[in-house]
Amino acid sequence: MAKKSKKLKKMVMSTLATSVLAATVAGSTFAAAPPDHSNAGGKKAPSVEAQVKPIIKIGQREFKDLNANGKLDRYEDWRLPTKMRVADLLPRMSMEEKAGIMQITSLGRDSEVMNDYVNNRHIRFVIIRDNPTAEALATRANSYQKIAEATPLGIPLVFTSNPRNHINEQNQFGISEASGQFSTWPGTLGLAATGDIDLIRDFAEIARDEWRASGIQKSYGYQIETATEPRWRRISGTFGEDPTLNAEIARELVLGFQGEELSSKSIAQTIKHFPGDGAVLNGLDPHNEEGQFAVYPTEGSLYKYQLPPFQAAIDAGASSVMSYYNLPKNEGSAVQLPKELWYSETQQFEEVAGAYNKKIITDLLRGEMGFTGYVNSDSGVLTNMDYGVQNLSIEEKFAKAIDAGTNIFSDNNDPSGLISAVNKGLVDEKDLDPSVSLLLTEMFNLGLFEDPYTNPAEAQSIADSAEYQARADEAHLKSVTLLRNNENMLPLTNEKVATTKLYVEVFAGNNSAARTTALKDLIKKEEPSLTIVDTLEEANSALVMLRPTAYENKVDIHAPVDIKLGTNTGINVERVKEIENKVPTALVINMNNPWVIDEVEPGAAAVVATYNVKGEALLDVLRGRFNPTGKLPITVPANQEAVDKNASDVPGYAETYDYTYTNSVGDDYTFGFGLSYEE
């Protein structure tokens, strides 16, 4: 009897489920939905705000009449599953509208340009490149969302940005254009150096709150790729060289920014650059033609070192993945892929950039790794970074990239090439639908069809949160890494300070004098009891800070990027050695690359590594108010010869020769090394 009862119950539940599904498909609302005054058994009512289109009220529930036809269409009904809403909206869109939504471009300079982008080019994804306040961001975003709401289908905008929450010494287009308007954290290497996963999760959740309040819904970040070539100048935007730590961080970033699933509180992540931009020939930057080649000389390195962080982000639900610029080079690469992923019987890789590489995007990323979101190309792949497809027409490039699995094209504000590709028969209009469906899915899940607007005053209040900055300041402190202190110069206790006459100098290329003045002023403000002297002759100790910059030779493809401290990298090595020979010197190195430091490290009395850190946090560590806990997220090479011999696809700690710098007391400056004052 019990078995019969269970069977009957199962039949009843199955019949009920079928009835509900039929009712759902039959109309725009659930026939068996709960009462309109209640959320019980249904979706919780979201915030709904319209500034142009009418509001439809059903009981106490509100819906936006996005196409202003006076009735509730399925894509307007937030109670329905996203898949059903997408299926309703997609056939309402023209081919031109589909082509437009597959482009993401830098924000128009004014409302006239944005009107053109939205109404004539049908663009809905835009990238913010400037650095206004949170209030100004929100105000502008609201004004542009009104333009989008006024269009026939009312499809909202998605505002995107590169990272905005880190100390950024030089804003760079396409890398990091903004800093200082939200809570300010150390660089990404600094976050990794903390080793504090809970803190990194808090960072992601705080940044999410700040961004979403300011009208930003999508991030071009983070760079979760493993830093394996020490000369690659984008190491400063990564989390270092350990794939295990990177994978752990990648998971926390996705969950922190997005949540367990996308919602009206989320920032959709576009993790980058798949399958790992760091394995570049001689460290040359793929933004430039001479740096276009990715090489994998070590068998199995792709799966062992490059892919784990991406797999972790995918498993956590990353909404989007950005493909790399690189052209994977067969010559010089060992076996990386299983035979079924080879381009041909004789070629492991198709030698075309990531956005055009079907084996990498469709077969590896989607097929093997299980990614179900959308693929965002990097900027400029249709123009000057079209590696391997330079001879194709614009229509052919669109066709090849879409066939490869690319869904949206970065920094392109002209969809006419894609429209032409459809008109010429190179792309079938139905081939646009999978991409557009994925993009619309993200929009719906982010809640933008219901309420894309934000409160500018509230946005500024969140950005100014003292509580958020206090958590960021903790990260600054925890990132500072003590590498050597065998002469017990640090910490500078009150007793030591009483007799200290400190000479201060910063080495930062052409900015050395200005940075020296700024550091002196900060010390005078924060540490008034500490005597600062103007000449080395007056001093009995010194604080020397090195802020090098990688030098890239863009003329000779075989010339390595210079990361050895010297003239090219902005450091006067002879002057540093002169100071060290004269007085005991605390040497602070901004380790945003694994610099070759063998000439300046031995003469210092103490050595500290930072990763774009606030000066106040550094002083707290130097004075002993905070006991250093940071650990190296990268391995420091022994010398230039070690750099020259490195395998571009293997982390420093895994090199098979004597790669690592060893100091005078026998400590290796390898990944994970760091001292405290008790040691």
pLDDT at residue 3, rounded to an integer = 39
Please report whether residue 668 resides in a domain: no
For residues 271 and 145, membership in a common domain is answered with yes
Residues 375 and 261 in one domain: yes
Quick one: average pLDDT of 266-278? 97
Domain boundary among 463, 497, 525: 463
State the pTM of this model: 0.92
Q: Are residues 450 and 524 in the same domain?
A: no
95 domain-assigned: no
Q: What is the pLDDT of residue 558?
A: 63
Q: Which residues of 254-276 are buried (b: 16+ CB within 10 A; e: fewer)?
A: bbbbbeeebeeebbbbbbbbbbb
Flag whether pLDDT at 35 surpasses 50.
no
The reported pLDDT for the residue numbered 19 is 34
Please check whether residues 367 and 392 belong to one and the same domain: yes
Domain count, the chain: 3
Q: Mean per-residue pLDDT for 633-660? A: 97
Tokens standing for residue 321: 């993945």
Tens of pLDDT along 87-132? Answer: 999 999 999 999 999 999 999 789 999 999 999 999 999 999 988 9
494 and 613 both lie in a single domain: yes
Residue 93 lies in a domain: no
Confirm whether 327 is domain-assigned.
Answer: yes
Long-range contacts formed by 71-76: CB under 8 A, 24+ apart:
71/28, 72/28, 72/29, 73/28, 74/28, 75/449, 76/28, 76/449
Give the DSSP H/E element, type plus range, for residue 189: helix 188-194
pLDDT (0 to 100) of residue 171: 52
Residue 351 CB: number of other CB atoms within 10 A?
18
Read off the amino acid at residue 387: Y
Residues 457 and 486 both lie in one domain? no
In terms of DSSP bridges, do strands 327-328 and 531-533 run parallel, antiparallel, or are they unpaired? unpaired
Q: Bigger pLDDT: 304 or 28?
A: 304
Are 491 and 606 in the same domain? Answer: yes
The mean pLDDT of 583-607, rounded to a whole number, is 98
CATH of the domain at 577: 3.40.50.1700
pLDDT confidence bin for 4, thresholds 50/70/90: very low
3 state DSSP class of 270: strand
Task: Give the pLDDT confidence of 540-568 residue by residue, as tens digits.
Answer: 999 999 999 999 876 665 667 999 999 99
538 and 597: one domain?
A: yes
With H, G, I as helix, E, B as strand and everything else as coil, classify residue 538: helix
In CATH, what number is assigned to the domain containing residue 442?
Answer: 3.20.20.300
Q: In this structure, are strands 501-507 and 320-323 parallel, antiparallel, or unpaired?
A: unpaired
- Range name among 10-24, 368-382, 477-491, 641-655 with the lowest pLDDT average: 10-24
Q: What's the mean pLDDT in 351-374?
A: 98
> What gap in Å lies between CA 411 and CA 345, rounded to an integer?
35
With respect to residue 71, please indicate whether it lies within any of the assigned structural domains. yes
Average pLDDT over residues 172-188: 75
Res 116: pLDDT: 97
495 inside domain: yes
Question: pLDDT digits over 236-250, tens only?
Answer: 999 999 999 999 999
Decide if 317 is inside a domain: yes
Whole-number pLDDT of residue 29: 36
- The first and second tokens of residue 314, run together, are 């995918």
pLDDT-derived band at 43 (thresholds 50, 70, 90) equals low
Residue 12 and residue 281: Cα distance in Å, rounded?
64
Pick the catalytic residue: 378, 598, 620, 668? 378
Residue 170 has pLDDT above 50, yes or no: yes
Euclidean distance between CA atoms 631 and 613, whole angstroms: 14
Tell me what the pLDDT averaged over the chain comes to: 92
Residue 44: per-residue pLDDT:
84
**378 noted as active-site residue:** yes
Residues of the chain above pLDDT 90, percent: 87
pLDDT for residue 187: 96
Residue-number span of the structural domain to which 47 is assigned: 14-80
Beta bridge mates, 637: 660
Predicted confidence band of residue 287 (pLDDT cuts 50, 70, 90): confident
Q: What is the pLDDT of residue 481?
A: 98
The whole-number average pLDDT for the span 571-599 is 98
Are 443 and 553 in the same domain? no
Let me know whether 65 and 115 are in one domain. no
Note whether 591 and 641 are same-domain residues. Answer: yes
163 Cβ neighbours under 8 A, 6+ residues apart: 176, 188, 219, 220, 221, 222, 237
pLDDT tens string 302-351: 999 999 999 999 999 999 999 999 999 999 999 999 999 999 999 999 99
Q: Judge if 322 and 209 occupy the same domain.
A: yes
pLDDT at 7: 35
Tell me the average pLDDT across 488-509. 97
Distances in Å between the alpha carbon of 657 and those of 124, 192, 295, 641, 654? 51, 25, 19, 11, 9
Contact assessment for residue 579 and residue 603, using Cβ atoms and an 8 Å cutoff: no
CA distances from 92 to 67, 154, 190, 437 (A): 10, 12, 48, 12
- How many angstroms separate the first and last alpha carbons of the chain? 72
Q: Of 436, 463, 490, which closes a domain?
A: 463
678 in a domain, yes or no? Answer: no
